[in-house]
Amino acid sequence: MSIVHSGPLRVGIVGCGNIAVNFHVPACLALPEAVEIVGLADPTPERLEAGRVAAGLSRERVHADAAALIAREDVDVVDVCTPQHLHRDIAIAAAGAGKHVLCEKPIAAAPADAAAMVAAADEAGTVLAVVHNYLFFPYVAALRELIAAGELGEVRTVRVDMLGVVDSPGAAGYRPQWRKDPTASGGGVLMDMLHAVYLAEHLLGLPAGRVSGFVDGAAGDAVESLALARLEADGRAASVNVAWGMGEGGITVSGTKGRAVVRYRGDGTPPWAPFEQLTVTTAAGTRTVALPAGAELGPLIADALRDTVADVAAAIRANRPPAATGAQALHTLEATIATYASAALGRTVAVPFDPGSPLHRRGVVGLDELDVPLDSPVRRRGLFGLS
């Protein structure tokens, strides 16, 4: 069991890419009573230096090798900000050293890796939290309050549209296009924005048990640029529609007594388009929920990351689960990969996967071990390594 000292939790960040330098470091610096950055690790010299400067650390407190950071006695929490296919070994090593882990989403590229991370934390008695930071957006909290208060009745359907996602490259000093490599990313726009998947299940109030999907990709790309998913959960269902491009965004929650609708500026996709309005319609009419105008991209994500870090610190102190546990993130990952499998196989796919399934062992690239029809649109597009 990890031992936490009485002062702020001492955090070591592994990976100094854009998300770490621009958001994780500022989030920690904004919470000096809760956390303190004591070290960083990154094998890319220019990224390590960028992180060191942002965190205000001396050179002897940063490392090219993550193992050196994890081995330090003055680290309580390892914040994993590397690409997802690298999460497993770092998180398992951290748990083995008695460290708590905060891991960027998605938890891993393959469910087997995520399951191993969960098992390692359980065995060590440490916390494994995952950055599902959209849960901390003010309008998401307001939606949950509406549902909990019973104003919408029993939730029947949820629709999450994010069809205007910006295709942002990774850090220039590493591999800017790593998200287009399915062995590294585990998928394309849906994997990158699986925020939509966990939001849909969060608002449904139940995890999906069956998933069906459609995906398509640009010519020559190995991952999808458009994904449509249906998540079925014990009499409830959610549709999740995600794409790189200029499509619309929005959230609708429909229940037996009413519906709630979230709109963004220009009907765009969050977090690039700020929140604009939350309306509730029941038999009594339509009302607008009193919420402040949404923040622009930078401040919105900064606040959500700060609240994520604060929640994890409080969870460790109080010995309670964080907002997004490793087990929950594993389920979100499987639901995302099930969308790809459904699109490739032409049928509904059940989750969780059987541990022996190639989808569990290898993620989306495990499709090459399955009987994907020759006329599958996924195969015809050459997505996920299929040909």
Each residue of 67-113: pLDDT tens digit?
999 999 999 999 999 999 999 999 999 999 999 999 999 999 999 99
Q: Compute the distance between CA of residue 285 and CA of residue 270 in angstroms, rounded to an integer.
A: 27
| Residues 279 and 151 sit within 8 Å (Cβ to Cβ) | no
Q: How many angstroms separate the CA atoms of 270 and 295, rounded?
A: 10
From the list 158, 256, 138, the residue with the least C-alpha distance to 200 is 158
Cis-peptide, bond into residue 271, ω within 30° of zero:
yes
pLDDT digits (tens, 9 = 90+) for 222-264: 999 999 999 999 999 999 999 999 999 999 999 999 999 999 9
pLDDT at 171: 61
- pLDDT for res 274: 98
Q: In the chain, which ranges are continuous DSSP H helix?
A: 18-19, 25-29, 45-55, 66-70, 87-96, 111-124, 138-149, 182-185, 189-192, 195-204, 297-318, 326-345, 358-362, 377-381
Contact 92, 120 (CB under 8 A): yes
Residue where the block lists tokens 């629709």: 159
- Nearby residues of 360 by Cβ (< 8 Å), 6 or more positions away: 110, 111, 112, 115, 334, 352, 353, 354, 366
Condensed to tens digits (0 to 9), the pLDDT of residues 287-310 reads: 999 999 999 999 999 999 999 999
pLDDT grade for 179, boundaries at 50, 70 and 90 = confident
Task: Write down the pTM of the prediction.
Answer: 0.95
Does residue 54 belong to any structural domain of this protein?
A: yes
Q: What pLDDT, on the 0 to 100 scale, is given for residue 170?
A: 60
| pLDDT greater at residue 10 or residue 172 | 10
What pLDDT does 256 receive?
98
How many domains in the chain? 1
291, 138 in Cβ contact below 8 A?
A: yes
Q: Does position 382 have pLDDT exceeding 80, yes or no? A: yes
Q: Are 283 and 298 in contact (CB under 8 A)?
A: no
CATH code for position 81? 3.40.50.720
Please report, for residues 14, 40, 60, 323, 368, the alpha-carbon distance to residue 334 in angstroms, rounded to integers and kept in the order given: 25, 30, 40, 19, 17
pLDDT of residue 178: 74
Interval 117-140: pLDDT, tens: 999 999 999 999 999 999 999 999
In a domain, 73, yes or no: yes
Identify whether the C-beta of residue 374 lies closer than 8 Å to the C-beta of residue 237: no
Q: How high is the pLDDT of residue 175?
A: 61
Tokens of 249: 């965004």
What is the pLDDT confidence band of residue 187, given thresholds at 50, 70 and 90? very high
* Residue 21 counted as domain residue: yes
Q: What is the pLDDT of residues 7-54, one digit of tens each?
A: 999 999 999 999 999 999 999 999 999 999 999 999 999 999 999 999
4 has a pLDDT exceeding 90: no
Residue 194 domain-assigned? no
Secondary structure of residue 125 in the 3-state scheme? coil
Neighbours of 256 (CB within 10 A): 9
For residue 2, pLDDT over 60 is answered with no
Instruction: Summarize pLDDT for 320-376 with one digit per residue, the tens.
Output: 999 999 999 999 999 999 999 999 999 999 999 999 999 999 999 999 999 999 999
What six digits make up the tokens of 187?
């998928």
Has residue 2 been placed in a domain?
A: no
- Could you give the CA distance from residue 211 to residue 237 in angstroms, rounded to a whole number? 10
Cα 252 to Cα 214, 223, 242: the distances in Å are 20, 28, 15
Q: pLDDT band at residue 168, thresholds of 50, 70 and 90? A: confident
- Could you list the beta-strand ranges (E) of 226-317: 226-233, 236-244, 249-255, 258-264, 275-282, 285-288
- What's the domain range around 48? 9-133+302-312
Residue 345: inside a domain: no
Question: What's the whole-number mean pLDDT along residues 61-68?
Answer: 98
CB 318 within 8 A of CB 146: no
- Alpha-carbon distance of 90 to 80, in angstroms, equals 7
Residue 93 lies in a domain: yes
In a domain, 265, yes or no: no
